[in-house]
Structure 1
Amino acid sequence: MATPNEDVRNPFTGLDVTWMLQTQAERFKQKPLLTWAPFDAPARHYSYSEFVHLAGCLAASLSAKGVQEGDRVLVHLENCPEFLLSWAALAELGAIAVTTNTRSAIDELSYYIDNSGAKCAITQPSLFSTLQAAGNDLNFIAVTSHNAGVNEVPPSGPGIESFDQMLTGEPAANRHRVSADPNRPVGVQYTSGTTSRPKGVVITHGNALWAARVTGGHLGTRTDDTQLIFLPLFHINALAYSFLPALWKGATVVLMPKFSSSRFWNVSLEHKVTLGSLIPFCYRALADVERPKKHYYRTWGGGISYVPIAQELGIHTVGWYGMTETISQPITGHNDMPNEPDVIGRAAPEYDISIVDENGNPTQYGDVGHLRVKGRPGLSLFKEYLFNEEATRNAFDEEGWFITGDRVIPFENGTIRFSDRDKDMMKVGGENVAPSEVERVLMSLESVAEVAVVAKRHPMLDEVPVAFIRPTQPSSDVDQEALRAEIAAATASALADFKQPREIYFVDDFPRVTLEKIAKAKLRARLEESDK
């Protein structure tokens, strides 16, 4: 009798991302896979065949530069075709794309490079100097000739490669350089947690195929669909909720450099877009824009199942809940049935979920509980946190449930509503921010004795960070303007702009709870009271 093998029970045994790309290129050949819709240039169409050919050219060039199976390569790009080509080419080599937030400061980028062990990088002209300053030891940096569609002469010199030139060769004769293994890592995305530094979420080929197949079912993606992508490709949403499901179904994606409420409808109408993945910020922004009398949208996916602007336009909305670690959505609405207002949806059939109280008991209907998700690491859940066994271990409870850090409300009819986060986290315009990241930078200043960073509600961004500072001297003796300037300089050099405090409050002491911990709930209440 054969020895039981975990991989035998993997639905993607013998398959990987390269298999998916090459299979679809054979099936759909000249059909557009990708339409690039920059703001300042005409649209550019890539057929399935051309996209896979270019990915092969890039893979051959990267291989010639020494990139091998298992190597980690930093992909530091805004939305553009080169991002997706890089991701596909690295997958073909068995290498790993470390995709990073383009708003990262030098200190953050340096951490990503050191933590991942990236040997080289791919970026664009506007981001080159920051990346070069962060990664002095990189073997080479490949630079595109444009910034999200705006042409610019790339830098040149030792250790700098032209990305465009890397596309001009020919794919290697043996396109599939590594054996197909769904357990092999294909990407790393850094996500903020409650620790002071983001953790690298390791995503496998099996995770990517799972996202492609499962999320396409959640949204109801069809071969004749065109999906709009404007959310950043370095986040799980754009890649796993949009690009991969479209690829699995043989659909077309339209890629914008970023979200633009003034361009949203023009691009959607020009390319007859039928599907979209939106976040609350987008819904609010589009509410102030004139609606077209005619459109082609069938479905929008997002964080809630009922959106007034979608109802007005006759667009079906699918609510869903997911995070980088869950790959797809453990909670989702119906793509082909009515959904109830103001809920995320209900438990997805591909996952197990549990909602428990503080004692680990099932939450009563209508009460707030902690959300746990059960799946298979490397398939329906992330494989691990990169080089961090302790964090990986602590992410699961004793029974193997993944601890999401979010709180939800279950109802008797099976629907689930999002409540809040039980971790010390905030959501700034769709970006996760750990207050501890900001506090680490502020505590490095000699003039700061103690600090607490909390979220303040914002009409467009949901939340923004606000810092309460206890200086080393009594606040009445401090040159507050000088200290504000020092804080602004420190956070600007060490943190992405969305992590930088919007307001600074100086205090002589903090409200306390057990063990003299700062009572952040009281600080948040103080902010809410001041806004009244």
Structure 2
Amino acid sequence: MTPLEPRITDHFAALCDARAAAEPDGPAIGDGNKELTNRELLNRVVVADAQLREHGATAGDVVAIRLPSGLEFVIFLFAAWRSGCTVTPINPGLLEDELLYQLSDSGAALVVDLDGSTPTPGLPVIAVRNSPVAGVDTTSDPVVDGDSLALLIYTSGTTGRPKGVMLTHANIVAMATMGARSLGITRADSSLLILPLFHVNGIVVSVLIPMLYGGSTIIAGRFDPATFFDLVAKVRPSYFSGVPTIYSMLAAVPDRGAVDTSSLRFGLCGAAPAPNGLLEEFESRFGFPIVEGYGLSEGTCASTVNPWDGLRKPGTVGLPMPGQEVRIVDADGAGVGAGVTGEVQISGENVMAGYLGKPEDTRAVLADGWLKTGDLGHLDVDGYLVIDGRVKDMIIRGGENIYPREIEDVLASHPDVIDVAVVGRPDEKWGEIVTAFITTGRDSDASRMFDALEELCQAQLAPYKRPAVMSVLPALPLNPVGKIDKLRLRSIAIETQLSRGRV
């Protein structure tokens, strides 16, 4: 399946115009209840563009969008780009201090929210509930080029204050093009958006990729595992993108017989490595392939992906996307061979312009066209990437380097374990000791399960790798983009003195 020619090739500011001109009555975006054609979407974007200008937005300004995932988010996203502005998406769940930090650090000139309730330091606010959807006249054309900043995506802040990742229009056009080529996207494709739009994955994978090639998007709103497949049967998407936690939740839903997944070509899985065996079991049960990939915000979302229509290797995150290179280097920056663990580095037109206002941090991760990801991994003999963990997640016990992913895969192989994360806990004797947190089924016998897990570890792990602490949590804490929050787990590990038990 070969993608069509993209609707635009330089920037996304004129995408809605191009789609409306090519196919005015074609489907563009919906939410399961209301759908907008290409012409209707352009009309809404033009009105929102006029509102932004009326509130003082000019080319080069930063517009903060603090909205739940929905039609209005996408409308104002394209409207801001049409005005020549940069968008910084804000997680509606941020606390006031976190919100004010992002507004200040990004230099936001205007805020778009739901009802005008955002506490802002004197910034104008557009409340979309009180805004007109028609009756505003504007004849302005898009005013942007490929070098203009399109997005300021703030990192999840697990290693300090969040940093603003600067992504240009050229970055996101390159990323959407790479993604479409990897996934065989055509105008016949429709994505189902279940990830938050304040994260680059939701914006790029579920909105920009299909829309760039004439496809459409349905926004699901809040993810509910109990009703997810009912929604799939209703709106009939061809793909969706999720994180391992979502697939774990769906896999844990009681079997209720056949579900209609016939419209789905594949599901995507990213943000964190999937537990060993999860995706294969999911595909066997629900009848469509799960394609695991890898990327980060600094690389505009994705850098590798398993082929949706070719050899998918469990335990890997696939091959480099077209137009990107991936290499593994040792601590001295020298390349290493297949099977050798080192730092993952990527190169391509999707790599960010840098961190906003942080030249030293930018220089620390960008050098000679390569992005230092901070992730540990290795390439197999066929060039498939395996993620072994984060450089900062690595546990050092008595001088021995321990990669949490290896231990997590062993623990996840137990049938009662739903999710697992391994972190290091400070220890006077060893420096760090291995601490495992798991979630399990409601009816599991914790004591018996711990015995079984210890037997698994004894059979498959060297003694120094085996967890010294195992604890059950009702759910693993997640950061705002759905990744397991290992910083929080380290805090719990320090606070908890259990050798085994429930937290």
Does TM, normalized by the shorter one, top 0.5? yes
Secondary structure in 1 matching 2:290? strand
2:374 — aligned with what?
A: 405
Secondary structure in 2 matching 1:420? strand
Contact 1:354 1:372 in 2 (8 A): yes
Contact 1:61 1:169 in 2 (8 A): no
> Would the alpha carbon gap of residues 337 and 190 (structure 1) be closer, same or farther in structure 2, given more than 3 Å must change?
same
Contact 2:266 2:290 in 1 (8 A): yes
Mapped pair 1:301 → 2:285: no
One-letter code aligned to 1:405: G
One-letter code aligned to 1:83: F
Question: Which whole-Å CA distance do the structure 2 matches of 1:502 and 1:330 have between them?
Answer: 27
* Structure 1 unaligned regions, length at least 5: 1-10, 38-42, 146-161, 428-434, 436-451, 461-495, 506-522
The percentage of aligned residue pairs carrying the same residue is: 24
Question: Which whole-Å CA distance do the structure 2 matches of 1:504 and 1:195 have between them?
Answer: 13
Mapped pair 1:33 → 2:18: no
Mapped pair 1:277 → 2:272: no
Please point out which of 37, 44, 54 is paired with 1:54: 44
Contact 1:356 1:370 in 2 (8 A): yes
1:484 — aligned with what?
A: none
1:172 — aligned with what?
A: 138
One-letter code aligned to 2:12: V
1:228 Cα offset (Å)? 0.4
Question: Which whole-Å CA distance do the structure 2 matches of 1:62 and 1:525 have between them?
Answer: 48
1:229 — aligned with what?
A: 193
Mapped pair 1:389 → 2:359: yes
1:525 Cα offset (Å)? 13
Contact 1:344 1:416 in 2 (8 A): yes
Per-residue Cα deviation, 1:256-300 (whole angstroms, up to 9, x for no partner): 112210121111110111111111011111112246343221111
Secondary structure in 1 matching 2:246? helix
Mapped pair 1:117 → 2:107: yes
1:371 Cα offset (Å)? 0.2
Mapped pair 1:88 → 2:66: no
1:137 Cα offset (Å)? 1.8
Please point out which of 297, 309, 316 is paired with 1:336: 309
Please point out which of 296, 300, 310 is paired with 1:327: 300
Please point out which of 236, 255, 264 is paired with 2:228: 264
1:485 — aligned with what?
A: none
1:175 Cα offset (Å)? 2.8
Please point out which of 420, 425, 436 is paired with 2:389: 420
Per-residue Cα deviation, 1:499-522 (whole angstroms, up to 9, x for no partner): 7957967xxxxxxxxxxxxxxxxx
Secondary structure in 1 matching 2:88? strand
1:220 Cα offset (Å)? 2.0
Contact 2:31 2:71 in 1 (8 A): yes
Mapped pair 1:142 → 2:142: no
1:143 Cα offset (Å)? 1.7
Question: Which whole-Å CA distance do the structure 2 matches of 1:13 and 1:49 have between them?
Answer: 16
Contact 1:219 1:318 in 2 (8 A): no
Contact 2:106 2:356 in 1 (8 A): yes
Secondary structure in 2 matching 1:227? strand
One-letter code aligned to 1:340: K
Contact 1:59 1:171 in 2 (8 A): no
1:224 Cα offset (Å)? 1.1
> Would the alpha carbon gap of residues 222 and 459 (structure 1) be closer, same or farther in structure 2, given more than 3 Å must change?
farther
Contact 1:202 1:383 in 2 (8 A): yes
Question: Which whole-Å CA distance do the structure 2 matches of 1:528 and 1:404 have between them?
Answer: 34
Question: Which whole-Å CA distance do the structure 2 matches of 1:323 and 1:24 have between them?
Answer: 29
One-letter code aligned to 2:437: R
One-letter code aligned to 1:19: A
Question: Which whole-Å CA distance do the structure 2 matches of 1:55 and 1:358 have between them?
Answer: 49
> Would the alpha carbon gap of residues 188 and 226 (structure 1) be closer, same or farther in structure 2, given more than 3 Å must change?
same
1:457 Cα offset (Å)? 3.2
Secondary structure in 2 matching 1:418? strand
> Would the alpha carbon gap of residues 390 and 171 (structure 1) be closer, same or farther in structure 2, given more than 3 Å must change?
farther
One-letter code aligned to 1:59: D
1:383 Cα offset (Å)? 1.5
Secondary structure in 1 matching 2:339? coil
Question: Which whole-Å CA distance do the structure 2 matches of 1:244 and 1:54 have between them?
Answer: 17
Contact 1:456 1:524 in 2 (8 A): no
1:488 — aligned with what?
A: none
Contact 1:73 1:97 in 2 (8 A): yes
Secondary structure in 1 matching 2:13? helix
1:249 — aligned with what?
A: 213
One-letter code aligned to 1:15: D
> Would the alpha carbon gap of residues 524 and 422 (structure 1) be closer, same or farther in structure 2, given more than 3 Å must change?
farther
Could you tell which deviates more after superposition, 355-364 or 22-31? 355-364
> Would the alpha carbon gap of residues 359 and 14 (structure 1) be closer, same or farther in structure 2, given more than 3 Å must change?
closer
Secondary structure in 2 matching 1:18? coil
Q: Normalized against structure 1, the TM-score is what?
A: 0.71
1:315 Cα offset (Å)? 1.0
Contact 2:8 2:212 in 1 (8 A): no
Question: Which whole-Å CA distance do the structure 2 matches of 1:345 and 1:263 have between them?
Answer: 30
1:89 Cα offset (Å)? 0.3
One-letter code aligned to 2:108: A
How many residues are aligned here? 411
Question: Which whole-Å CA distance do the structure 1 matches of 2:495 and 2:121 have between them?
Answer: 45
1:316 Cα offset (Å)? 2.3
1:424 Cα offset (Å)? 5.4
Task: Please give the root-mean-square deviation of Cα atoms over the aligned residues, in Å.
Answer: 3.1
> Would the alpha carbon gap of residues 530 and 360 (structure 1) be closer, same or farther in structure 2, given more than 3 Å must change?
farther
Mapped pair 1:218 → 2:182: yes
> Would the alpha carbon gap of residues 525 and 501 (structure 1) be closer, same or farther in structure 2, given more than 3 Å must change?
closer
> Would the alpha carbon gap of residues 525 and 354 (structure 1) be closer, same or farther in structure 2, given more than 3 Å must change?
farther
Mapped pair 1:317 → 2:317: no
Per-residue Cα deviation, 1:469-524 (whole angstroms, up to 9, x for no partner): xxxxxxxxxxxxxxxxxxxxxxxxxxx9x97957967xxxxxxxxxxxxxxxxx68
Please point out which of 238, 245, 251 is paired with 2:202: 238
1:193 Cα offset (Å)? 5.0
> Would the alpha carbon gap of residues 456 and 29 (structure 1) be closer, same or farther in structure 2, given more than 3 Å must change?
farther
1:148 — aligned with what?
A: none
One-letter code aligned to 2:98: E
Secondary structure in 2 matching 1:406? strand
Q: Normalized against structure 2, the TM-score is what?
A: 0.75
Contact 1:219 1:299 in 2 (8 A): no
One-letter code aligned to 2:38: Y
Contact 1:13 1:181 in 2 (8 A): no
One-letter code aligned to 1:301: L
1:358 Cα offset (Å)? 2.0
Contact 1:355 1:362 in 2 (8 A): yes
Secondary structure in 2 matching 1:186? strand
Question: Which whole-Å CA distance do the structure 2 matches of 1:455 and 1:375 have between them?
Answer: 37
Per-residue Cα deviation, 1:363-419 (whole angstroms, up to 9, x for no partner): 34333211011224xxx111221122221111124x332110111122112222111
2:168 — aligned with what?
A: 204
Contact 1:73 1:121 in 2 (8 A): yes
Secondary structure in 2 matching 1:17? coil
Per-residue Cα deviation, 1:61-94 (whole angstroms, up to 9, x for no partner): 2112211011111111110111111110000000
> Would the alpha carbon gap of residues 456 and 82 (structure 1) be closer, same or farther in structure 2, given more than 3 Å must change?
farther
1:77 — aligned with what?
A: 67
> Would the alpha carbon gap of residues 369 and 504 (structure 1) be closer, same or farther in structure 2, given more than 3 Å must change?
closer
